[in-house]
Amino acid sequence: MPSYTVTVATGSQWFAGTDDYVYITLVGTEGCSERTLLDKPLYNDFERGAIDSYDVKVGEHLGDIVLVKIEKKKYWMQDDWYCRYVTIKTPCGDYVEFPCFRWLVDDKEVVLRDGRAFLPQDDKTSIVKQHRQKELDQRRKTYRWKEWQPGFPLSIDANKHRDLPRDIQFDSEKGVDFILNYSKAIENLCVNSFMNMFQSSWSDFADFEKIFVRIKNTISEYVMEHWKEDFMFGYQFLNGCNPVLICKCTKLPDKFPVTNEMVSVSLERDLTLEQEIKAGNIFIADYDMLEGINANPTDPYTQQYLAAPMCLLYKNLRNKILPIAIQLGQDPDENPIFLPTDGQYDWLLAKIWVRSADFQHHQNVTHLLRTHLMTEVFGIAMFRQLPAVHPAFKLLIPHIRFTIAINTKAREQLICECGIFDKANATGGGGHIQLVQKAMKTLTFRSFCFPDMIKSRGMDSTEELPTYFYRDDGYKVWEATKSFVSDVIHIYYTSDERVQEDEEIQAFVKDVCSFGMQDFDHCEFPKSLKTRDELIEYLTVIIFTASSQHAAVNFGQLYLGMYPDEHFIEKPVKDAMGKFRKELAEITRSIKRRNEEKKLPYYNMSPDKIPNSVAV
């Protein structure tokens, strides 16, 4: 009587184990096993982190094992179980791997394909075709689109985190991690002691220093020492948390009437302002998106204010970017132009207003919209249109980890009515909604392609801007990511026709555009892909947005290139992952060497600091 050895791995996260009954059914090309209880006498099966093996005897050889059906039934109370994978050893001694990485909740069953990736056109038997379609049908019922706010990208249909499918909820460690990090932040900022500072006017700049009294590291101390200086103000446009707004100025806008007489004292090359513009030494940051956004009276009803400033910046002879003119509104008739030659505190306050506007743009547009909300769009479409056996699903799933969960938490607690934004942020009380809606009107697919985004702002020349480390490091990580994606795609797609024939990848792309982005014409998201190059770029955009771009404006946990859940089992893909990790390691070393002698090192795009996904 043939015997198959079944090995089952339980997750190592908290509460992953179960005391419920677990049954298995093996489905082969020549037959199907009986439904078999996996249980060893006097043994506690399926404990957290355990790897358990069982013998399943059958009446006759089953042929190639194509599906594994796992069922969980209640023992004495419902007990969720996280299954990592199942491995089958056949009577011939062959091993077949079946990745799972899913929670079995209540009396639930899962049916698993073996770990090899297949395109839909490569499935030839009715049993695997039906399994593939059934998985997608169920996913589309589970992962539904919903409009949270008009003009926003669509999000998941769930009002609270607990309403999400169990597979995409935070695990227990992640929940505790949030609490600990929040507590640590409170401790570092001494918020309990200084909360009143955020809700009333400060009387002295020394109050600002008190906020950071508990944060001690070389960079923070250097910033505290120099934060009032122009070079530090300019540096943040290149390598701060919002390095995506500064543009090369090719012509002064009429609404910002800076004259040569105003700024000549700040220019160092014996050139006029117009000549400096032609020489490529003038840059501009325009916060016009904040124009007309309603300011918020924060808790306890302290009126806040918003500016929509413009800032003219100059690259001096030492290649430092310095502010030379600031206008705090879009209408020149109502807003004077502030200059470095003005009074010390007039100029400092003008810079503070610009930095305040930059904070609002960063939090609402650069961070919330362009990383969090957009990654959620890609994630929902992925779950709805790509089965677990699809290579693109295996490629993307590590980069979607916890994104939908953190966004649902944000809608539940942070950006909702009476949430933290309303209580503590000048764009709360609806201003943040207006700002995202306004930003959506200019958002395009090409703006997510890192090289295009840099070039569109005229910031691509390393000779003109040798200290734009966000650009330099971003180029390297983009190319390494694109190379990795290309290696994987060429394993499964041997021609452009294979892309065109893949109905699932086409449905995925269409779902993003037609539902996630609501078919906004100005967004120019593709509705189909015709070539491998187009597919490679599209998937690179998703991975880069969810990992590297988010890292440049925020930080997280599992780092780029780390894939603890082995969704791919094929050796060529694992080789590509190894190559990717080596390239990332070399980029990390080069960034470390560059930073060694810098007073202000830039690590935000260092691969060893880049989280895999938008998870915080």
User: Could you tell me the CA-to-CA distances from 365 to 8, 31, 257, 360 in Å, in that order?
Assistant: 44, 55, 27, 8
Q: Are 262 and 339 spatial neighbours (Cβ–Cβ below 8 Å)?
A: yes
Is the predicted pLDDT of residue 172 greater than 70, yes or no?
Answer: no
Q: Give the whole-angstrom CA distance, residue 441 versus residue 438.
A: 6
Confirm or deny that 567 is annotated as ligand binding. Answer: no
Q: How confident is the model at residue 568 (pLDDT cuts 50, 70, 90)?
A: confident
Q: Are 16 and 49 spatial neighbours (Cβ–Cβ below 8 Å)?
A: yes
Average confidence (pLDDT) over 185-204: 52
Confirm or deny that 550 is annotated as ligand binding. Answer: yes
120: Cβ contacts below 8 Å, ≥ 6 apart? 132, 390, 502, 503, 504
Q: What tens digit of pLDDT does each residue of 546-566 get?
A: 988 888 766 534 456 667 677
Q: Give the whole-angstrom CA distance, residue 151 versus residue 519.
A: 11
Q: What tens digit of pLDDT does each residue of 215-261 get?
A: 556 677 788 888 889 999 999 999 999 999 999 999 999 999 999 99
Under CATH, which architecture does the 146-157+367-609 domain have? Answer: Up-down Bundle (1.20)
Q: Give the whole-angstrom CA distance, residue 580 versus residue 363.
A: 31
Check: CATH 3.40.50.410 for 3-113? no
Q: Are 340 and 266 spatial neighbours (Cβ–Cβ below 8 Å)?
A: yes
What pLDDT score does 178 carry? 53
Q: What tens digit of pLDDT does each residue of 174-193 get?
A: 555 555 554 554 454 444 44
Confirm or deny that 333 is annotated as ligand binding. Answer: no
Beta strands in 143-193 (DSSP E): 145-146, 155-156
Residue limits of CATH 3.10.450.60 in the chain: 242-358
What pLDDT score does 192 carry? 45
φ/ψ (deg, to 5) at 329? -150, 170
What pLDDT score does 615 carry? 61
Residue limits of CATH 1.20.245.10 in the chain: 146-157+367-609
Using omega within 30 degrees of 0 as the cis cutoff, is the peptide bond preceding 300 cis? yes
Percentage of residues in the chain having pLDDT higher than 70: 89
Average confidence (pLDDT) over 358-385: 96
DSSP 237-268: HHHSS-TTS-EE-SS--TTS---HHHHGGG--
* Range in 199-208, 281-290, 561-570 the model is least confident about: 199-208
Averaged confidence pLDDT in the chain:
90
What pLDDT score does 418 carry? 82
438: Cβ contacts below 8 Å, ≥ 6 apart? 289, 293
Q: Which of 93, 70, 56 is nearest to 20 (CA)?
A: 70
Confirm or deny that 31 is annotated as ligand binding. Answer: no
φ/ψ (deg, to 5) at 49? 80, 0
What pLDDT score does 285 carry? 98
Q: Are 367 and 555 spatial neighbours (Cβ–Cβ below 8 Å)?
A: no
What pLDDT score does 448 carry? 96
Average confidence (pLDDT) over 444-461: 96
Average confidence (pLDDT) over 527-548: 96
Under CATH, which architecture does the 242-358 domain have? Answer: Roll (3.10)
Q: Are 541 and 449 spatial neighbours (Cβ–Cβ below 8 Å)?
A: yes
DSSP assigned state of 334: T
Q: Give the whole-angstrom CA distance, residue 318 versus residue 234.
A: 13
More confident residue, 213 or 64: 64
- The number of CA neighbours under 13 Å toward the Cβ of 419 is 17
Q: What tens digit of pLDDT does each residue of 310-347 get?
A: 999 999 999 999 999 999 999 999 999 999 999 999 99
Q: Is 593 left (phi over 0), alpha (psi -120 to 50) or beta?
A: alpha
Q: Which amino acid is at 457?
A: R
Confirm or deny that 522 is annotated as ligand binding. Answer: no
Q: What tens digit of pLDDT does each residue of 5-19 get?
A: 999 999 998 899 999
What pLDDT score does 423 carry? 79
Confirm or deny that 390 is annotated as ligand binding. Answer: no
What pLDDT score does 219 carry? 74
What pLDDT score does 298 carry? 67
Confirm or deny that 39 is annotated as ligand binding. Answer: yes
Torsion of CA 219, 220, 226, 232, to 10 degrees: 60
What pLDDT score does 168 carry? 93
Residue limits of CATH 2.60.60.20 in the chain: 3-113
Q: How confident is the model at residue 604 (pLDDT cuts 50, 70, 90)?
A: confident
